[in-house]
Amino acid sequence: MSGRPCSWLFRVTLAAAALLRPERRARPLAVRPAARSRSPVPGFLGALKMEMTEMTGVSLKRGSLAVEDNDSLTPAEEAKRQKVSEGWLTKGQDGIENNSPPSCENVPRLPEVVSAGKSKRNSDAQLQEEEEEEEDGLSEEGEEEEEAESFADMMKHGLTELDVGITKFVSSHQGFSGILKERYSDFVVHEIGKDGRISHLDDLSVPVDEEDPSEDLFTVLTAEEKQRLEELQLFKNKETSVAIEVVEDTKEKRTVIHQAIKSLFPGLETKTEDREGKKYIVAYHAAGKKALANPRKHSWPKSRGSYCHFVLYKENKDTMDAINVLSKYLRVKPNIFSYMGTKDKRAITVQEIAVLKITAQRLAHLNKCLMNFKLGNFSYQKNPLKLGELQGNHFTVVLRNITGTDDQVEQAMNSLKEIGFINYYGMQRFGTTAVPTYQVGRAILQNSWAEVMDLILKPRSGAEKGYLVKCREEWAKTKDPAAALRKLPVKRCVEGQLLRGLSKYGMKNIVSAFGIIPRNNRLMYIHSYQSYVWNNMVSKRIEEYGLTPVPGDLVLKGATATYIEEEDVNNYSIHDVVMPLPGFDVIYPKHKISDAYREMLTADNLDIDNMRHKIRDYSLSGAYRKIIIRPQNVSWEVVAYDDPKIPLFNTDVDNLEGKPPPVFASVS
């Protein structure tokens, strides 16, 4: 398709809203590939625009993580009948949208063709020093280098949709194909809050607060002084204090310096000293290293909410990386931030973030120094945000180079609008390398910790960053976690965290070493296994019974699953039917699929009747998830354009800057 002199573009706007504590996830709509191409308009590329809103429902319980798959349109090499996963989000208690723990490789989702149808310095002190250095944020060097990685090479050794149970179509008509995410700006996500409001960045002003310090706070310290204070704050040198001379000695000037140090470098206290007739502000540690993680309590006005909520607009960076960057520039720990769900990397996304006791003034200042980020719509609230609190997400998606006749496009879009799509967990949930995340999850549930360690760290085929390849090779050769860790310039990934844990706790305490990885990232592995089981069971359910409800199917009444009885079958549609993610607090259908669940878990050496784990975090209570999702408010249109590098719709930042919307040529 890419070699054609002109192309068509498919633009789609989607909104997903969740019910019943639903789970965030992408579900594939599958339509069959078109047999022939749409006739090109000479001199132009084409575009089709669509809009929709979708309500989904999953009842999540503790231990069931919700993850979004914005990168859901992924090619299955061995199956030409490819599916389209539209990014529908539901929410959950742990509701994370990212599908797999952040790996050091972090291979981006490049354009996808889719068919719609140590030396011995191994001391705790060194490890702590490295940890603190990394926790301030991932280095942005090399971010752009990742774009050169070959998605095709990665998929050559990675998973196909068939590998994770995605085998069925919701419709039988011919469809069309196109390219998803040829540019990251072709995928735009706006979060839908629990109040149903779509998050937009449309106000960069800072709330007026008489208790905010003056703007001098950001300029009173020199770059050298900031560097020394940061090194003191992060325990990067042997100094116990930093003295800053007050050149223009006035009470007002000293006050601003005191405020600047305490505000910009949490954990440091200050005092004024006279030295040889000169005034100095001396900064020192107040309460050891723990003070760094906890913002100063006494400097926050009692009348103001403890959390500053703001809208974060970001481009081509996932939420966790974005939080790391913000924490690095603010010089705070990432764990004082909260959010309702993580968003895709290869996209433009808009979402709400909350941060503990950081002023809107400080946050707004970041707009002057950060690329591909904008912060705005500030407000002070009493409470943080919780994972899974959102109702869903609104999507604007571009499919470029689409093929197919007008009738084929119309038929496929009407199928999406009227029937919906199979609610499969998309490919991103299962990782992007030859070692699927569900295999790690299965090993955790089996309590096979040596296998967990091996699966995460062993060499594997496929496209990975060179330093990660060297790290894995070092591990395979020496089994020395400290030596392998030294090969990683970025240690705040799963591999780096596990190696740091092994260095700290030793090879005989893998459980504790694995526990260094943040909880949500650890849980993603076992939820990946749940998703793997669910996909396979849904495919079996549709193969066995089709797209109509049958006696023994499950439906939700409130948050409680009940069986469909023979006499009630006609009262339900396939859109009401749910299937369980395996766990100790769910029931299974009363038909052949119940046996299929048991057989699959038994083959994996797991007991479906005892999904509790001796480590509570890894006990699975289970959840319910609708098998077919039908979006609402669906609309689309075809447009033509003559420059493939020009974005095809305005972003929030474009609107803030007053840019006019793009003008399209007419399509004949």
Provide the 3-class DSSP secondary structure of residue 508: coil
Q: How many CA atoms lie within 13 A of 622 on its CB side?
A: 23
- Can you tell me the distance from the alpha carbon of 185 to that of 542, in angstroms, rounded to the nearest whole number? 35
Percent of the chain with pLDDT over 70: 70
Question: How large is the average pLDDT for residues 26-41?
Answer: 36
- Can you tell me the distance from the alpha carbon of 141 to that of 568, in angstroms, rounded to the nearest whole number? 60
Instruction: Report pLDDT for 598.
Output: 96
Question: How large is the average pLDDT for residues 547-576?
Answer: 94
Cβ(112)–Cβ(178) below 8 Å: no
Provide the 3-class DSSP secondary structure of residue 54: strand
Question: What are 668's two structure tokens?
Answer: 């004949």
Structure pTM?
Answer: 0.67
Nearest to 140 by CA among 311, 266, 314: 314
- Can you tell me the distance from the alpha carbon of 38 to that of 409, in angstroms, rounded to the nearest whole number? 9
Pick from 155-164, 211-220, 341-350: least confident = 211-220
Query: What separation, in Å, do the N-terminal and C-terminal C-alpha atoms of the chain show?
Result: 21
Residue in the block written with tokens 């022939």: 36
Question: How large is the average pLDDT for residues 157-185?
Answer: 86
pLDDT confidence bin for 506, thresholds 50/70/90 = very high
pLDDT tens-place string over residues 402-456: 888 888 888 888 898 889 999 998 887 887 677 889 999 999 999 999 999 999 9
Catalytic residues: 344
Instruction: Report pLDDT for 580.
Output: 96
State the burial class of residue 484 (Cβ atoms within 10 Å of its Cβ: 0-12, 13-18, 19+): buried
Question: What are 338's two structure tokens?
Answer: 């909260």
Percent of the chain with pLDDT over 90: 35
Nearest to 172 by CA among 471, 419, 448, 463: 419
- Can you tell me the distance from the alpha carbon of 452 to that of 569, in angstroms, rounded to the nearest whole number? 44
pLDDT confidence bin for 556, thresholds 50/70/90 = very high
Give the other-Cβ count within 10 Å of 67's Cβ.
30
Question: How large is the average pLDDT for residues 567-579?
Answer: 95
Nearest to 630 by CA among 166, 117, 25, 55: 55
pLDDT confidence bin for 49, thresholds 50/70/90 = low
- Can you tell me the distance from the alpha carbon of 406 to that of 10, in angstroms, rounded to the nearest whole number? 12
Question: Does residue 144 register a pLDDT over 80?
Answer: no
35 vs 274, higher pLDDT: 274
- Can you tell me the distance from the alpha carbon of 482 to that of 106, in angstroms, rounded to the nearest whole number? 22
Residue in the block written with tokens 């596990």: 498
- Can you tell me the distance from the alpha carbon of 264 to that of 242, in angstroms, rounded to the nearest whole number? 14
Nearest to 52 by CA among 396, 341, 390, 349: 396
Cβ(503)–Cβ(509) below 8 Å: no
- Can you tell me the distance from the alpha carbon of 30 to that of 34, in angstroms, rounded to the nearest whole number? 12
Count Cβ neighbours within 10 Å for each residue of 102-132 and write b for 16 or more, e otherwise: bbbbbbbbbbbbbbbbeeeebeeeebeebbb
Question: Does residue 576 register a pLDDT over 90?
Answer: yes
Instruction: Determine the distance from the C-alpha atom of residue 16 to the mean position of all C-alpha atoms in its chain, rounded to a whole number.
Output: 16
- Can you tell me the distance from the alpha carbon of 192 to that of 355, in angstroms, rounded to the nearest whole number? 19
pLDDT confidence bin for 315, thresholds 50/70/90 = very high
Q: What is the 3-state secondary structure (H, E, C) of 520-555?
A: HHHHHHHHHHHHHHHHHHHHHHHHHHCCCCCCCCEE
307 Cβ partners below 8 Å, 6+ apart?
Answer: 338, 354, 355, 356, 357, 380, 381, 382, 383, 384
Residue in the block written with tokens 């063709």: 113
Axis-axis angle for helices 449-457, 494-505 (nearest 10):
130
Pick from 95-104, 229-238, 376-385, 593-602: least confident = 95-104
Question: Does residue 51 register a pLDDT over 60?
Answer: no
Cβ(33)–Cβ(103) below 8 Å: no
- Can you tell me the distance from the alpha carbon of 165 to that of 225, in angstroms, rounded to the nearest whole number? 57
Question: What are 33's two structure tokens?
Answer: 């590939």
Question: How large is the average pLDDT for residues 554-575?
Answer: 94
pLDDT tens-place string over residues 627-659: 999 887 777 877 777 788 888 889 999 999 999
Pick from 59-63, 89-93, 185-189: least confident = 89-93
- Can you tell me the distance from the alpha carbon of 444 to that of 452, in angstroms, rounded to the nearest whole number? 6
Nearest to 73 by CA among 107, 116, 108: 116
Instruction: Report pLDDT for 634.
Output: 79
DSSP letter at 149 equals: S
Per DSSP, helices labelled H in 80-190 are 124-135, 151-157
- Can you tell me the distance from the alpha carbon of 427 to that of 160, in angstroms, rounded to the nearest whole number? 8
Supply the mean pLDDT for the chain.
Answer: 75
pLDDT tens-place string over residues 285-312: 765 555 444 545 446 788 889 999 999 9
Run of H or E residues at 198: none
Instruction: Report pLDDT for 279.
Output: 82
Question: What are 441's two structure tokens?
Answer: 């999850």
Pick from 168-182, 192-206, 234-248, 543-557: least confident = 234-248
- Can you tell me the distance from the alpha carbon of 541 to that of 628, in angstroms, rounded to the nearest whole number? 12
371 vs 238, higher pLDDT: 371
Run of H or E residues at 355: strand 348-356
Residue in the block written with tokens 């180079």: 401
Beta pairing class for 554-557 and 268-275: unpaired
- Can you tell me the distance from the alpha carbon of 620 to that of 370, in angstroms, rounded to the nearest whole number? 40
**Integer CA distances (angstroms), 233 to 269, 286, 365, in order:** 10, 10, 21
**Integer CA distances (angstroms), 196 to 190, 394, 579, in order:** 12, 11, 26
Q: What is the CA radius of gyration of the chain?
A: 26
